[in-house]
Chains A and B, each alone.
Chain A
Amino acid sequence: MTATTVTAPAPGAGTASKQPAAGGAGAGRLRTILAPVLLGVVALLLWQLAVVVFDIKPFIVPAPLSIGGEFGTNIATVVAGAVVTGGNALVGLVIGGIVGIVFAILAALVRVVDELSVAIVAALAVIPIVALAPVLYTMFGAGAETARQLVAAIAVFIPVYINTLRGLRQVRPVHRDLLHVYAASAWQMTRTVTVPGALPFIFTGLRIASSLAVISALIAEYFGGPVGGLGKSITSAASSSNYNLAWAYVLGAILVGLVFYCVTLAIEMFATRHYRPTS
């Protein structure tokens, strides 16, 4: 969409060309945001209506308004829980992400690593990772968050590794030829073409992994470890029949997941803003 405005090599045309694009996308973006928001509001209204009209008991489904009320009054503990769970997820995301990317680069460079890791990664992908949590708690002690962070890290590793490796194999032939012509070493090739070219794939992996990290960190809390996180709070509120509060913590968990997703999405869009395929 910028090509038409840039053909005349006038100074400043490069920056001027961005404006119509941004303006044109503005109305469309508003509509894409507005439609799902509207749908959500309608769904909430129907939910509230159903609970009131059919007199549904809170242990089955509480009304959105009472969940909201409980969320408001307990906002401090919800935030504290979100910080604990979110913190674990973040540590897991960073560790799992780095290990996944480094491992994928190694696998792309050294065939042996690739062949050896195929079976391991396949096995990892099949294990219900959260099931490791009780074992890890006994390994690292039930008083530490380490087990939860590890569970999140393992859950993150798999999609990041798989996506990165796929991205690293997508080098365009023209770029490969070019670097061959420049007599570039394997490492120069990796640094200047392969890894930057794989960035969109790496970020897709991280975006998928970000939700997995939150889910894993949260579920891992169900199996033990210190109190304070959202997962523990959900189970304890539910077991003391405080259903509205349990749902308020669930809402908190949803919000943490959303924040993770949106932040990774924003980083992805920023980092790959120039990646639209060129001629």
Chain B
Amino acid sequence: MSEAPAASATQPVTATDVAAAVQVTGVDKVFVGKKKATVTALENIDLTVAPGEFVSLIGPSGCGKSTLLRLIADLDTPSTGSVTVFGKTARQARIDQEYGIAFQQAGLLPWRTVTGNIELPLELHKVGSAARKARSAELLALVGLSDFAESYPDQLSGGMQQRVAIARALAESPRLLLMDEPFGALDEMTRERMQTELVKITAETGAAVVFVTHSIPEAVYLSNRVVVMSPRPGRIRDILTVSLGSAAERNEQLRENEAFFENVSKVRELLHGEAPVGVRGVETR
């Protein structure tokens, strides 16, 4: 109740910064564990995501890509530095429901139908039942699950559950989508189909996306820019601009495209470090 979204809050758009979808400035994240042992999860992160832009965060396990996403989502707070979403603090942006989110686990409530799950955020934010019904029907059509409106999550396959989760993330028409390996638990074929659908959905909604993954082809296929991260401490090693056309132009044929493979190998090179002789762990110590 204390954190009810102030939908009408007109945020002061500062003239200097035309409200980037996400602005991460000088962020460090240090976790303090037991016996005061500290783990530096993120170090000196600067990242700007423009409205409507699709940005992937890629890197090996433990490079802090999920942590970075959680900072943007205000599920965690940075140790130093600042995170703003559409010009607001991460906390305010969360309270105002500026973004939708999807996790690796679909995280559906098993006791609610598909419709009930998609309507959950709308229900929590006091949207009327007629408006909820209309919106969930629209979203079900968007993710191709209209026939399963009254099914329960346990009656759906993993891919279908993930599509429900994406529909739920889109429920309040956010201008920003945060996705933490949403297709990580799916098989390769379902995964490729979901990627194509996601590209289509982002083209239709025009939302900016921050997408965490550890699949190189997935990152290249989906993104305008790929942020390559390195582990311990988590840093941005490089940012690759993928020029494979707008979301509307991307389709299944792209996967066979020469330019696609070129970008895939570029990301791979960046991931494994420029110096091929340098075995692991050499770079920053």
Contact = CB atoms under 8 A, between A and B. Distances in A.
Contacts of B101: 178, 181
A177 B121 CA distance: 13
B267 to A, nearest CB: 28
Interface centre among B4, B144, B147 (most CB of A within 10 A): B147
Contacts of B161: 278-279
Interface string A6-17: 110111111001
Interface centre among B125, B157, B158 (most CB of A within 10 A): B157
Interface string B99-118: 00101011111110000000
A267 B220 CA distance: 51
Interface in B121-180: 121, 123-125, 144-145, 147-148, 151-162
A279 B158 contact: yes
Contacts of A184: 3, 124
Interface residues of A, number: 36
Given A181-B94, A182-B97, A275-B111, A14 B155 contact: yes
B75 interface: yes
Contacts of A58: none
Given A196-B111, A278-B153, A185 B144 contact: no
Given A3-B158, A181-B101, A274 B75 contact: no
A274 B154 contact: yes
A278 B110 contact: yes
A182 B121 contact: yes
Interface string A238-279: 000000000000000000000000000000000000111111
A187 interface: yes
A175 B75 CA distance: 12
Interface residues of B, number: 42
B254 to A, nearest CB: 24
A29 interface: no
B1 A185 contact: yes
B13 interface: no
A182 B124 contact: yes
A174 B107 contact: yes
Contact of B125 (A2, A9, A182, A274): A182
A17 B107 CA distance: 23
Interface centre among B94, B162, B185 (most CB of A within 10 A): B94
A199 B111 CA distance: 10
Contacts of A11: 147
B31 to A, nearest CB: 16
A58 B240 CA distance: 91
Interface in A13-31: 13-14, 17
Contacts of B5: 183
Contact of A181 (B2, B73, B159): B73
Contacts of B75: 177, 180-181
B120 interface: yes
B123 to A, nearest CB: 8
A187 B4 CA distance: 13
Contacts of B160: 6-7, 9
Nearest to A177: B75
Nearest to B123: A192
B107 A9 contact: no
A185 B1 CA distance: 5
A196 B105 contact: no
Contacts of B185: 279
B154 A276 contact: yes
A175 B97 contact: no
A193 interface: yes
Contacts of B271: none
Contacts of B20: none
A7 B75 CA distance: 33
27 contacts: A3-B157, A6-B156, A6-B157, A6-B160, A7-B157, A9-B144, A172-B107, A174-B105, A177-B107, A178-B103, A181-B74, A183-B4, A183-B94, A183-B95, A188-B124, A192-B109, A192-B120, A192-B123, A197-B109, A197-B111, A274-B110, A275-B110, A278-B108, A278-B153, A278-B154, A278-B161, A279-B162
* Minimum-distance CB pairs A-B, first 5: A174-B107, A183-B3, A185-B1, A274-B152, A14-B151
Given A184-B3, A185-B3, 17 more contacts: A2-B154, A2-B155, A9-B144, A174-B107, A175-B107, A175-B109, A181-B73, A182-B121, A183-B3, A183-B97, A187-B1, A193-B109, A274-B111, A275-B110, A276-B154, A278-B153, A279-B161
